[in-house]
Homo-oligomer: A and B are copies of this chain.
Amino acid sequence: MMSAPPRLELITSGAELLNGAVLNRHAQWLGREAAGLGWELHRDTTVPDDPAALREAMFSALARVEVLVVSGGLGPTSDDVTRDVAADWAGVGVVMHEPTRAVVHAAYAARNKPLNDLVERHALVVDGAEVWPNTYGLAPGEHLTRDGRHLFLLPGPPREFQGVARDFLLPWLAARHPAGPVRRQDFSVIGWGESDLAARLNADGLAGLAVEVAYCAAPARVLVRLAERSGGGEDFDRAVALVRGALGGAVYAEADEPVEVTVVRALEARGVTLALAESCTGGLIGARLTELAGVSRVLRGGVVCYHNELKVGLLGVPEAVLAAHGAVSEPVARAMAEGARRVGGADLGLAVTGVAGPDGGTAEKPVGLVYVACADGRGTVVRELRLGGPRSLIRESAASMALDLVRRQLVGG
């Protein structure tokens, strides 16, 4: 039997999170931290600074789950209403917390700033709350309990939210329900669509195993995440073996990482250097690789040969080959990869040429036709791709598939 993980919910208040001004990152952060402790963030709700909306959201959440975390609305202005709603839920009042008031006074004195009329309101707390010092700002965190439910109030600014949560909330969660030994296994898969992948794994028997399966799709990539169910250890082992067997070389990493991370690790392990020739991707492969610090050990650089004259002048692609086959062709991709390797002084040359769209496609060479090529001095592998989607997706997919060609060159598959 599987026991479900303990659940918590998060509510964040703030008009700026609902009118587009600010991106709300609290749920991603708390969800990841909670998952790491064996908890499940089961709902994330954002409401405006409106007592009625906040009250409805808080009371209904506290009827569903054991733990509710509320972020924001603890400041000194009139739109900071969280503590009043929380006091209402607890059936008590709001009081001045003298230790916090002393901290507020000291903070202002240290900065030679005069106290204004509002600032002491940071030290108001719900009567009877356990008060958690906030060393990152002024408003403290609070812990309230009623009828076996736990309500946590945390400050809204991300640095303060995360700081107080790290200091007090996460240790509380870890102590409340110590996590069992649940195993997880990620597979980063390239070249499969999400539904094709799920269909294949289910046909191979994954759907019949007692294991949690989640899919998460990105351009040219699907993350498959397996998690053990309590008591389902054998099925988990079977599921891991099943995914490995079904997908083979399409799994570029048994971890959650973009393909460029895998490729750079493989290049570094072998002391192999790389140079690029990018046409339709226009620099995207270089941009993704150089996002990784330390990549200069393996990446020499490359040429963005968007115009054909640069293919000829900088990479030495023969004009006759361009004229005979067109820029989007197997022979041009091959010549680009060999040219990149030569002019970049690298062990491997990687090239991409294709029709990214939305215009420029023909019946013979439609939008989505892409050639990727990898030259290693002994020979050159070229692969023809038919990619779907809009321009940006075709470009991201082409970059990923090109990088994967390097991985296959290095590790086989």
**Chain A residues within 8 Å of B, Cβ to Cβ:** 15-25, 27-29, 31-33, 35, 40-48, 53, 57, 60, 75-79, 107, 110-113, 116-119, 121-122, 136-137, 157, 159, 193-196, 198-200, 203, 207, 214-217, 223, 225, 256, 276, 278, 280-287, 289-291, 293-296, 299-307, 309-310, 313-314, 343-345, 356-359, 366, 368, 386-393, 395
What 10 pairs between A and B have smallest CB-CB spacing? Answer: A20-B32, A282-B290, A283-B286, A283-B283, A116-B199, A301-B306, A284-B287, A301-B310, A44-B46, A283-B287
Inter-chain CA distance A391–B163, complex, in Å, is 13
Q: Which residues of B contact A296 (CB under 8 A)?
A: 306-307
Q: Which residues of B contact A309 (CB under 8 A)?
A: 300, 345
Q: Could you pull out 22 A-B pairs where Cβ atoms are within 8 angstroms?
A: A18-B27, A18-B42, A18-B43, A18-B44, A20-B35, A21-B215, A21-B225, A24-B24, A45-B45, A79-B214, A110-B368, A111-B386, A112-B386, A119-B193, A122-B195, A159-B392, A284-B286, A291-B391, A293-B356, A296-B306, A302-B303, A303-B314
- Give min CB distance, A171 to chain B, whole Å: 18
Q: Which residues of B contact A386 (CB under 8 A)?
A: 110-112
This chain's copy number in the assembly:
2
Inter-chain CA distance A344–B309, complex, in Å, is 8
B393 & A159 in contact (Cβ 8 Å cutoff): yes
A24 & B28 in contact (Cβ 8 Å cutoff): yes
Q: Which residues of B contact A388 (CB under 8 A)?
A: 107, 110-111
B286 & A290 in contact (Cβ 8 Å cutoff): no
Inter-chain CA distance A285–B283, complex, in Å, is 7
Closest to A156 in B: B217
A278 & B286 in contact (Cβ 8 Å cutoff): yes
B33 & A76 in contact (Cβ 8 Å cutoff): no
- Give min CB distance, A110 to chain B, whole Å: 7
Q: Determine which residue in A107, A112, A295, A390 has the highest number of CB atoms from chain B within 10 A of its CB, and name it.
A: A390
Q: Which residues of B contact A225 (CB under 8 A)?
A: 21
Q: Which residues of B contact A137 (CB under 8 A)?
A: 389
B23 & A28 in contact (Cβ 8 Å cutoff): yes
Contact pick for A214, options B16, B24, B40, B387, CB 8 Å: B16
